[in-house]
Chains A and B, each alone.
Chain A
Amino acid sequence: MRRFILPLLLFAVLVGFLAVGLRLNPRELPSPFIGKPAPLFRLSQLHAAEESFSPEDMRGRVWLLNVWASWCVSCRQEHPVLMDLARHRVVPIIGLDYKDEREPAKAWLAEQGNPYGLSVWDREGKVGIDYGVYGVPETFVIDKSGIVRMKHTGPVTPAVLSEKIIPLIKELNGA
């Protein structure tokens, strides 16, 4: 009987590893930006082409940078959540329109509603690369001194919003 104990234990360990592996999301990578300054950029705004925006303009405020595009399917899924967040005026949301064309992007916002204080237009996706964007939508929480505090890859769900993002924003605003 005792000779079975070791293989059985090994099997249990293996099952344990596989069970954990199944639950992990391989898309969710740890962002190297957490705790580091958000990369600076200056881009033209989506709606007011002659005006520009830089993260510097948000100094002193906690804000969200949401990477989106009119071609992005998951962004549609996320959109009502952002609209809700904007309606409650919890936090300013800045959109980064990633690898998109101006007209379809504006039409998309007109159709779906615009949760963004403003959006900037990253046609070539250069700023996207600077922020390590690899799957739209992505959302960054940036604090008053311009430090990235959190990154969420994929659509923001109501659960992520109420359990992670909003508590973090409250904490950052209190500090």
Chain B
Amino acid sequence: MLKYFAVIALAFCVGLAQAGEAQPVAEDPVLEARVQALAEVLRCLVCQNQNLADSHAELAIDLKNQVREMLRRGQTEKEVIDYLVQRYGDFVLYRPPVKSSTWLLWGGPFALFSAGLGMLYLNLRRRRQQGGEVLSAEERSAASSLLEGRTGEPK
């Protein structure tokens, strides 16, 4: 029994060892967690669809080091983000800020959704109005004769 536990425990150790390998300087886990959290919301400008945490581009590593250094010096998350936005623009943020140039980006999906809802509503209302139309006497007799004719001769 103990042997199995040992094997399982060892298996976990292997995982830890591999996970630790790629991480650069992590002597302070609290600081490293803050660096990691920031790196997840910052965009790597070289491989534009990755964040800094995922990217292994040289610039991403440099920027991560810069973030780490600034946090170590006691600067706040907001100061670090402001520093990077000043240099790289809003594009460095994975979550674009809401401002006049991004209204379409933020509001667009909601606008499209409400437009769709509106069209659906109009469509349904029109259909209901059409459905409520009463048949004229001629149409009614034509329909009933058709129905009777069909019941009369089953195929």
Contact = CB atoms under 8 A, between A and B. Distances in A.
Given A125-B62, A129-B66, A135 B89 contact: no
B10 interface: no
A26 B43 CA distance: 14
A16 interface: no
Nearest to A153: B45
A131 B86 CA distance: 9
Interface stretch (A27-35, A56-64, A159-167): A27-35
A130 B59 CA distance: 13
B58 A132 contact: no
Interface residues of A, number: 16
Contacts, number: 34
Given A134-B45, A135-B46, A32 B85 contact: yes
Contact of B63 (A129, A131, A135): A129
A32 B46 CA distance: 17
A29 B91 contact: yes
A32 B62 contact: no
A99 interface: yes
A132 B87 contact: yes
Given A129-B63, A134-B45, A99 B58 contact: yes
B101 to A, nearest CB: 10
Given A99-B58, A125-B62, A31 B46 contact: no
Interface residues of B, number: 14
Contacts of B46: 134-135
A154 to B, nearest CB: 13
A81 B8 CA distance: 63
B89 A31 contact: yes
A131 B46 CA distance: 15
B88 interface: yes
Given A99-B58, A134-B45, A129 B87 contact: yes
A133 B86 CA distance: 12
B114 interface: no
B79 to A, nearest CB: 15
B87 A130 contact: yes
Interface in A110-153: 124-125, 128-132, 134-135
Contacts of B66: 129
The 4 A-B residue pairs with the shortest CB-CB distance, nearest first, are A134-B45, A132-B87, A32-B89, A132-B88
